[in-house]
Amino acid sequence: MESNGKVVLMCSCEGTIPLDAKSLAKTLGGKEPFIHSQLCRSQIENYKTAIAANAQVLVACAQEVPLFEEVREESGSGTHVRYVNLREVAGWGNDGKKATAKMAALIAEASLDIPATTTVSLSSQGSVLVIGRDQAALNEAKQLASRMDVTFLLQPAGDVIPPAQADFPVFSGKVCSASGHLGAFEVEIDGFSTASPSSRKKLAFDISRKRYALRCDLILDLTGNTLPIDKRDGYFAPAPRDPVAVLKAMFEITDMVGEFEKPRYASVEAKLCAYARNAHKGCGMCIDVCTASAIQPAGDAVSIDPFVCAGCGDCAGVCPTGAVTYTLPVPEALLNRLRVLLLSYRKAGGKKPVLLVHDSGLGSEMVGMMGRFGRGLPANVLPFAINRVTQLGLDFLAATQAYGATAVHILAPRSHYPEIAGLSSQVKRAGEILDGLGLAGERITVLDDEDPLAVEELLWKPAGPKPVKPAEFMLLGGKQERVWKIMRHLHAKSPKAKTALFPLSPGAPFGTIEVEDQACTLCLSCVGACPTGALGSNRDRPMLRFLEDKCIQCGLCIKTCPEKAVGLSARLNFGDDAGRFRVIKEDDPFLCEECGTPFAAKKAVERIIERVTHHSAFADPARLRHLRLCESCRVFAEADWETEHGAGPLAVEPRPMVRTTDDYLRERDVPKRKH
């Protein structure tokens, strides 16, 4: 059997997984697959044959991946092998015999080609800064010193016994700040002082008030208070009274020497970023939710430090324009996975699909424990593993409904996701939109329970409300295009398909602008500030135009408008006018009094003249007239005025007479006149 050009090897795991070869072949295409019972042991030769003959292979087993990879490397095969778990998530559950449709969907999803993510390189030489307050911390540093290059920093007021032998440097001081990343940390220390070699009963330090910066590759913080860099690779802050946590951190530190590849989790497209324009701040939501301080302003846009980024994806989830993109994987690939999973499930005869979104770490472990120790996942609950659930934005959440999911559960255990403000805001926003469309019910929820069996109990409850008629289209293009395509499908299939306008709460990334006609002068400052192109002009006459499905309600137009004439109104508009420019305000052009050329909005020129009439610089009526001239005529008029008043535009001070050596000699030789 093949799926997306990949040979699929099926294994019943010694008969514990009920596999329906005929149904799987009917859904996925090709001939019925041979069902192995012990592919990783007695039937390993079949695996060797497959990787020797095929360029791509998909193995329906996740437990024995290390063994399969070892066999592949020993054989020298260049075959790309993928793996999918059908055991804990489907076959081992109480609904195992009913899970054929889910198995087919999981195989189809796993066979998709996902583009690789770019990486950045980090280097660690093994220098570790251990920060502690007591003797226990010094003892931990001593154990680590046998393998790593250790420096110990004792926090003020901490007493320790002087070591019998100075195996590593010991300093004292208060940590003021910390910055950097794995391989390049820098810690600012106030009151930095060195240990006195004559210390007897307790370690004494030289008196010092100077500030010093220590540089290191790794940090082990045993103070119990984490530094602001706690999300960064290379920083470890276990609970100092938890010996297991401390030992685990020390084991991990000893492995962090050498060259490392880190995914470039997120990228920024500056031209789409709505952070600022004309020195006015606009969006900034990505900076607000970044707990690693990896995002900083960079002019009118933001920049992401890939060495500092912790990969949570909050920034991409909340970004309304798609300027920030999560790349593990890119949104198009993630949404295509979702599409193929739900389409394949329905094609195989599955009904009322419920999506369980979880991360590939703790989330996968919790799902595995449900299959091993509980009832497992119901036959209609489809697991969907991603890197971090906090990467999800409105486009993905809405797409789950557009592709026909009855309900969506996002697994975010409290201990693993202590800060999910960004995800919560997107779930709330999606719920508001679905309610407005008449698609009521608990369709998208966040499960923060850490007990796998408690989560399992929730998943076995009856499926949620009736889904909309599912779409089959692929979602391509930018985030705004994807979101609107999804929204229009949901609107067309919703109970309120005949209602074009839906109000939203303030802050929603959809809406219109309101312009006060009398105040607006059509200066078009708002057009220049708009980061998405929602506001436009007309080259032939003074005009302000608006394209609603491009507006993200960032507020830059309000902050830029000198007349304070612009307001915002959050809403969803499914009318035809939302997708095309509509005229907000227009005016007659002002004609140059000299040559008749139109050069500005009539109201704008009149407003300027009105405001400067009593200014001393325009006391002369001729100067005031210059404002009613186009840019070309104004140049000549200004030159004439300057000349008329005794100083032409090119007037300069008289040049001094050039003096030569002969002049000086002549003056020297002329006898002085006697008086």
Is the pLDDT reported for residue 555 higher than 90? yes
**Lookup result for tokens 């002369």:** 620
The domain over range 331-492 is classified in CATH as 3.90.190 = yes
Question: How much is the pLDDT for 290?
Answer: 95
Is the pLDDT reported for residue 650 higher than 70? no
Domain range annotation of the chain: 2-83, 122-261, 264-326, 331-492, 511-586, 591-644
Is the pLDDT reported for residue 370 higher than 70? yes
Question: How much is the pLDDT for 617?
Answer: 77
Question: How much is the pLDDT for 602?
Answer: 84
Sorting pLDDT into bands at 50, 70 and 90, what band is 206?
A: confident
Is the pLDDT reported for residue 674 higher than 60? no
- Report whether 256 contacts 250 (CB < 8 A): no
- Report whether 380 contacts 329 (CB < 8 A): no
Is the pLDDT reported for residue 499 higher than 80? yes
Out of 166-175, 185-194, 641-650, least confident range: 641-650
Say which residue, 117 or 644, is predicted with more confidence: 117
**CA 14, CA 64: separation in Å to the nearest integer?**
13
Sign (positive/negative) of CA torsion 115, 120, 121, 122? negative
**CA 430, CA 405: separation in Å to the nearest integer?**
14
Identify the bridge partners of residue 105 per DSSP, sorted by sequence position.
Answer: none
pLDDT 10s digits, 509-539? 999 999 998 889 888 999 999 999 999 998 8
The domain over range 511-586 is classified in CATH as 3.30.70.3270 = yes
Question: How much is the pLDDT for 571?
Answer: 96
Comparing 264-326 with 511-586, is the CATH topology the same? yes
Mean pLDDT of the region 538-555: 93
Mean pLDDT of the region 166-188: 95
Question: How much is the pLDDT for 536?
Answer: 95
How many Cβ atoms from other residues are within 10 Å of residue 314's Cβ? Answer: 31
Mean pLDDT of the region 118-141: 95
Is the pLDDT reported for residue 225 higher than 80? yes
Sign (positive/negative) of CA torsion 478, 483, 488, 490? positive
Mean pLDDT of the region 580-594: 90
The contacts of residue 178 (CB under 8 Å, 6+ apart) are 185, 186, 187, 188, 219, 227, 228, 229
- Report whether 581 contacts 545 (CB < 8 A): yes
Is the pLDDT reported for residue 209 higher than 80? no
Rg of the chain in Å (alpha carbons): 35
Is the pLDDT reported for residue 675 higher than 70? no
Percent residues over pLDDT 90 in the chain? 76
Decide: helix, strand or coil at residue 174.
strand
Q: What 3 state SS string does 58-76 have?
A: EECCCCCHHHHHHHHHHHC
Global model pTM greater than 0.75: yes
Is the pLDDT reported for residue 422 higher than 70? yes
Phi, psi of 673 (to 5 degrees): -75, 135
Largest separation between any pair of C-alpha atoms in the chain: 134
For the stretch 171-200, what's the b/e string if a residue is b when 16 or more beta carbons lie within 10 angstroms of its beta carbon? bbbebeebbbbbbebebbbebbbebeeeee
**Superfamily (CATH H level) for 122-261:** FAD/NAD(P)-binding domain (3.50.50.60)
Q: Is 162 exposed, middle or buried (0-12, 13-18, 19+ CB in 10 A)?
A: middle
Out of 61-65, 252-256, 462-466, least confident range: 462-466
**CA 320, CA 87: separation in Å to the nearest integer?**
39
For the stretch 532-568, what's the b/e string if a residue is b when 16 or more beta carbons lie within 10 angstroms of its beta carbon? bebbbbeeeebbbbbbbbbbbbbbbbbbbbebebbeb
Is the pLDDT reported for residue 648 higher than 80? no
Mean pLDDT of the region 30-48: 93
For residue 421, what is the enclosing H or E element? Answer: helix 421-436
Say which residue, 158 or 234, is predicted with more confidence: 234
How many Cβ atoms from other residues are within 10 Å of residue 508's Cβ? Answer: 19
Question: How much is the pLDDT for 441?
Answer: 86
Question: How much is the pLDDT for 651?
Answer: 59
Question: How much is the pLDDT for 671?
Answer: 66
Sorting pLDDT into bands at 50, 70 and 90, what band is 649?
A: low
Decide: helix, strand or coil at residue 45.
helix
Q: What is the DSSP string of 624-675?
A: HHHTTS-HHHHHHHHHHHHHHTT--TT--PPPPPP--HHHHHHHHHSPPPP-
Mean pLDDT of the region 458-462: 93
Question: How much is the pLDDT for 625?
Answer: 87
Tell me the average pLDDT of the chain: 92
The contacts of residue 600 (CB under 8 Å, 6+ apart) are 542, 589, 590
The phi-psi region of residue 5 (left if phi > 0; otherwise alpha if psi is between -120 and 50; otherwise beta) is left
**Helix, strand, coil percentages in the chain from 3-state DSSP, rounded to 5:** 35, 25, 45
Mean pLDDT of the region 375-386: 97
Query: Residues, the chain, total?
Result: 675
| CA-to-CA dists, residue 305 to 15, 294, 391, 639, angstroms | 50, 5, 17, 52
Comparing CA positions, the residue from 30, 38, 32, 31 lying closest to residue 12 is 38
pLDDT 10s digits, 304-333? 999 999 999 999 999 999 999 999 999 999
pLDDT 10s digits, 399-413? 999 999 999 999 999
Mean pLDDT of the region 212-226: 95
Mean pLDDT of the region 493-519: 94
Comparing CA positions, the residue from 175, 172, 126, 177 lying closest to residue 153 is 172
**CA 303, CA 50: separation in Å to the nearest integer?**
46
Question: How much is the pLDDT for 179?
Answer: 95
* CATH architecture type of domain 264-326: 2-Layer Sandwich (3.30)
Mean pLDDT of the region 116-131: 95
| CA-to-CA dists, residue 331 to 67, 420, 509, angstroms | 32, 20, 19
The contacts of residue 318 (CB under 8 Å, 6+ apart) are 285, 286, 289, 393, 422, 425, 426
Is the pLDDT reported for residue 477 higher than 70? yes
240 preceded by cis ω (within 30°)?
no
**CA 332, CA 327: separation in Å to the nearest integer?**
10
Is the pLDDT reported for residue 669 higher than 90? no
Comparing CA positions, the residue from 343, 225, 211, 277 lying closest to residue 559 is 277
Q: How, if at all, do strands 170-181 and 149-154 pair? A: parallel
Sorting pLDDT into bands at 50, 70 and 90, what band is 450?
A: very high
Question: How much is the pLDDT for 78?
Answer: 87
Percent residues over pLDDT 70 in the chain? 98
Mean pLDDT of the region 430-459: 94
**CA 474, CA 590: separation in Å to the nearest integer?**
49
Out of 113-117, 175-179, 350-354, 641-645, least confident range: 641-645
